[in-house]
Amino acid sequence: MLRAILLGPPGAGKGTQAAKLVEKYSVPHISTGDIFRKNIKEGTELGKRAQEYMNKGELVPDDLVIEIATSRLLEDDCKDGYLLDGFPRTVHQAEELDKFLQAHGSKLDYAINVAVEKEALITRLTGRRVCEKCGAGFHIVNLQPKVEGVCDECGGKLIQRADDTLETVENRIDVYEKQTMPLIQYYEKAGNIVNVNGDQELDKVFADIVSALGE
């Protein structure tokens, strides 16, 4: 069983590590970002509200995030563990999560922090490109398409997401540092933080996380 949250700045590679972790430990991956993007794509009221904040690189307000994340934890597939990704992002959210878990006779096992320097994050994020047709991901340095600006999968046009422009990326990182970094101190005080160097090969990062959590 694994009951954990995944911390780290935008561009730290949390999505990749989350996919590996949920496969290894057989727990659901609960990404508030994915939930919001689904709502945005479907044009729901929640999606419209979330889109306004995400486009500016700002965090979605606590009340929206707390409601959607905690309700997800009540679903049957979370009985034997889960990996939270994108929640909590503030100390207030963490406190509300702790209260929720305590009320349901549970607790968080680990807070996994994937750390990467700001300069490396900017390079990673501003270089990302996605296919506007099928959603396949590329990078102008690390994962170049065979033909510049064209998706290898479907031939669609590659675009830069609104939240991957330099100005928005810098704002996203600044927001993270101001509002989310205190979480590390919060979980250090709780004694369940696992710090991992995210500026390594993906497999090495994963190996370090597993080593810290145990088989």
Catalytic residue numbers, as ranges: 14, 89, 128, 161, 172
Token pair of 80 as six digits: 């034997």
The secondary structure of the chain, three-state, reads: CEEEEEECCCCCCHHHHHHHHHHHHCCCEEEHHHHHHHHHHHCCHHHHHHHHHHHCCCCCCHHHHHHHHHHHCCCHHHCCEEEEECCCCCHHHHHHHHHHHHHCCCCCCEEEEEECCHHHHHHHHHCEEEECCCCCEEECCCECCCECCECCCCCCEEECCHHHCHHHHHHHHHHHHHHHCHHHHHHHHHCCEEEEECCCCHHHHHHHHHHHHCC
Which residues, 6+ apart, have CB-to-CB distance to 70 below 8 Å? 96, 97, 100
Reference 194, options 204, 181, 182, 208; nearest CA is 208
